[in-house]
Each structure stands twice: as C-alpha cells, then as structure tokens.
Amino acid sequence: EAEYFFEHGITDLLYAVGIAPVKLDHVAELTKRGAKLTIILDSLEQAQAAAWRQTSNASAEVLRGV
C-alpha cells in the first residue's frame, strides 16, 4: 500500500501497524526515493532490524508501541 500511495504523490506516510522486519528493505527503498515514512515497532525483533537498517543510509521515523 505504501508503494501505491507514494507512486500517486503522497510522500508523507505512516505504516500504521507493527511492521514485519522482512518489509524494512522496502521501507529503506521508499525513503531513498523520497518518501517520508513513519513506522511503528512493537517488538524487540522489529527494533533490532530497524536499527540495523538505519545504518544503511536510509531512515524512517520510528514510533514505539507499548
């Protein structure tokens, strides 16, 4: 869905559920293309995967669920 909205001109996106770590490469790709993407993390696994990708020169704003 994020890809669809981005391709139709909406660049400020919130992925409104805890993101699966396997989708983080796609998040990085979208941010490198100009998307401002906010993701929600609700597990340690997600946080560790997101932190690792933050070093890949692509970043997304992160919200932590409790």
For residues 13-27, one letter each, b for 16 or more C-beta atoms within 10 angstroms of the residue's C-beta and e for the rest, the string is: bebeeebebeebeeb
Report the predicted TM-score, pTM, of the whole model to 2 decimal places. Answer: 0.73
Nearest partner of 53 among 30, 14, 10, judged by Cα? 30
Query: What's the CA gap between 1 and 9, in Å, rounded?
Result: 13
Confidence class of residue 34 from pLDDT cuts 50, 70 and 90? very high
Dump pLDDT digits (tens) for 18-32: 888 888 888 888 988
pLDDT of residue 8: 96
Phi, psi of 36 (to 5 degrees): -100, 100
